[in-house]
Amino acid sequence: MTAFFILGFFSLTVQVFILRELAGLLTAHEIALGLGLSAWLLWTAAAVASASWNARLKNLLLGPGGQLTAYGALALGAALNFVLIKKTGLFLKAGLAPGLFELLILSALLTLPAALANGFCIFQGLLKNTLSFYWAETLGAAAGGLFTLLYAQRFPDADPVIITGVLGLALIFSARDARVISFKKILFAAAALVLFFSAARISPPFALPGFFSGAGIFQRTTGSRLALITGASQKTFIEDGSILAQFPDPEAQETRAQLALLAHKKPESVLLLGAGGFFLAGEAQKHSPKEITIAEADRFKTAFILKNAGLSARGLEIINSDARDALKANLNAYDLIFQTVPEPLNANANRFFTLEFFRAGRAALKPGGILAFALPFSENYLPPVRAYFAASILAAAGAVFKYVECAPGGSLTVLASDSPIELRAESLGKRYLSRKIKNTHIVPESLPFLLDPYRKQWALAMLKKTKPPPLNTDLNPAAYFYLWKLWLAMFVSPAALTGLCAVCILSALLLNRGLKLGALLKDKPAAGVFLTGFWAMGFEVVVLLLFQAASGQLNWKLGLLFAGFMAGAATGAFLFKRIKNRHSLAGLAGLALALSAGLYRAAPGLAELKASAFFALFMGLLFAGGFVMGGYFAAAAHSADSPERLYTADLLGAALGAFAFSGALIPLFGMQTALLASMAALIPCFFWKTAP
């Protein structure tokens, strides 16, 4: 039991660490998490299937020393994964959203070693002692989920390679089919130590794309991975592979802040949302407001920026709270709100550019208040994909505020208010002089050029060339669709087309010949388990991404959320292993349908919930989804001959579900349409019954 518990703890911890590193390498994109999860499940299924059909491998895993062999392989595979991830960053372009082809290939390759070995461990445990393994391994996974949460909150800068290495040694020495101290264990432990030590020695301590790897200071925080490049006169702050800010940069900082500050008659209360607010606080202080508040949930990120930028928090009120929560808690409180997230490259950033965010911002403003944000822009040429992206965000802002004004430049400064916004150069110049402001770039002499109506008209004309975009919302994030649009814009590349065809062919061969998916689907119990796995993982991906949109906490609560799903699966399997009812399968399919339908209906109102309710609600949904999957597996097993065959079908369905939902359905059609697709997948399950 102890060995199974340690396996569950190690497996989930490694999975979370690897998925977080993978996502961080690819600009923290949540689709990378979904595709990485899909690949993990696929390789695990491949390992279980190959061990079932390959007599030699089966004998190795089930024979003397088989548990130690499987556990040793998992420890070595985890170490190799970290080496691969760190080395891969050198070949990626810095600061760019990853293409779909990159996401597919890297998600598959960078999870392969550990996921395959994990499948061998599962096969060995299931066939040796099914019930004890299932419960002990799930309990260990739950403990691992709690550990990853504690890690992110208390000591996020500890190297996950070192932590995984210690856990890997514990896993190797926990194997029960060899003496506590044996030559084979020492050999595995020595090999694992060499690999983990090699991974820990690679610089930088976490993967960064392109030239970012030349940074000199690094730190993991609760929700991010930060790095700093120090130049002769400027410091570049990097967050998850993209630029957070360059400091000092008077032109960018003045342009970002001063237009909004001058546009307001008397800015007395200013709120800066996000870590970027620390770089703009000095600009706000020039106008002598009564209060300046910065809302940033990650205290480790706050400390990193203040220390390395040489900034002081004197005169600032710092709220360790999610920015959207800060808006909900302070209604009608601010004259100016600055949203400082640089660009919505992922869902965590996109949630500060959505319809729901703008509604919360409007409610937090005083009468005449202004919400300000910026979008990447170019005064000379705006690519159609970028224009479509910006138009979607501006449409969302325009659906909430009566007045939305734009000032194009190196970035597009956007001001939104329910009152007319004063942007005449003459008026702003007078306010500049009366407040005795001292700027370098935003000065009365430059305002006529910056606010020239023809510049604004050109920018709006470029945006109008795109077809009318959908509003950017929590349920239909522009950041996901942008990834597809960006990739399609590059589709003319022969390399991208050839690569996609190769991936499709290899995937089809693996599923049909290697994993014999066609044969599995001819077996009704296995087909039902496959479809339920497809639904369950699609449902889980939707819930996870909704949780990210609502709270922004997916990155550091991922392990506990995974553990909640697994706990539900174990509970469902335990109950339905003992319940032999002919209608169990249809009943569980009905519960799954009700969960999808209920979430479909409730999803639009999730943004209105209090932050304290988010976690309990989403944990409950994940537990229920896992309960259906585990219960269906156990109920189908009553009329199946081969449990490992069912388990392979379950994993394959889950892998394809994670891939279809995260890679296509959600980016192209949004969360609610994806939930409808999950319901459609369940229809055949209503027509199958267990044996009487």
Predicted confidence (pLDDT) per residue in 141-153, tens digit: 989 999 999 999 9
Q: Is residue 480 over pLDDT 90?
A: no
**Assigned domain for 500 exists:** no
Closest-CA residue to 572 (of 591, 557, 559): 591
Do residues 35 and 169 both lie within one domain?
yes
Mean pLDDT calculated for residue range 413-418 = 97
416 in the same domain as 357: yes
Domain encompassing residue 656: 515-692
CATH number at residue 686: 1.20.1250
Q: Name the domain boundary from 410, 439, 472.
A: 472
Entry pTM: 0.90
Whether 413 and 553 share a structural domain: no
Tokens, residue 534: 């497809």
In this structure, the answer to whether residues 520 and 430 fall within a common structural domain is no
Same-domain status, 198 and 271: no
| pLDDT at residue 4, rounded to an integer | 92
Is 579 in the same domain as 652? yes
Last residue of a domain, one of 472, 495, 524: 472
Q: Quick check: 152 and 221 in contact, CB under 8 A?
A: no
Predicted confidence (pLDDT) per residue in 19-48, tens digit: 998 888 777 678 888 889 999 998 998 898
- 533 found inside a domain: yes
Is the torsion defined by CA of 4, 639, 685, 624 positive or negative?
Answer: negative
Given a contact cutoff of 8 angstroms between Cβ atoms, the answer to whether 637 and 572 are in contact is no
SS3 580: coil
Q: Are residues 326 and 262 in the same domain?
A: yes
Q: Are strands 411-417 and 269-273 parallel, antiparallel or unpaired?
A: unpaired
How far apart, in whole angstroms, are the C-alpha atoms of residue 228 and residue 309?
Answer: 10
Distance between CA atoms of residues 662 and 676, nearest Å = 15
558-617 pLDDT tens trace = 999 999 998 898 899 888 887 777 678 889 999 999 999 999 999 998 888 876 678 889
Asked if residue 530 and residue 467 are part of one domain, the reply reads no
562 to 48, 129, 332: CA distances (angstroms): 21, 24, 38
Q: Does residue 235 fall inside a structural domain?
A: no
Establish if 327 belongs to a structural domain. Answer: yes
Q: Are residues 433 and 523 in the same domain?
A: no
Please tell me whether residues 614 and 669 are part of one structural domain.
Answer: yes
CATH of the domain at 414: 3.40.50.150
Looking at residue 227, its pLDDT comes to 93
Cα(327)–Cα(368) distance, rounded to whole angstroms? 17
In terms of domains, do 256 and 175 share one? Answer: no
Q: Is residue 236 part of a domain?
A: no
Say yes or no: 27 and 176 in one domain: yes
Burial letters 265-277, b for 16+ CB under 10 A, else e? eebebbbbbbbbb
Q: What is the pLDDT of residue 346?
A: 85
Give the number of domains in the chain: 3
Does 300 fall in a domain? Answer: no
Highest mean predicted confidence (pLDDT) among 333-342, 372-381, 647-656: 333-342
The tens digit of pLDDT for each residue in 345-403 reads 888 899 999 999 999 999 999 999 999 999 988 777 777 778 888 899 999 999 999 99
Q: Which residues pair with 219 in a beta bridge?
A: 226
Contact call for residues 34 and 546 (beta carbons, < 8 A): no
User: Is position 222 within any domain?
Assistant: no
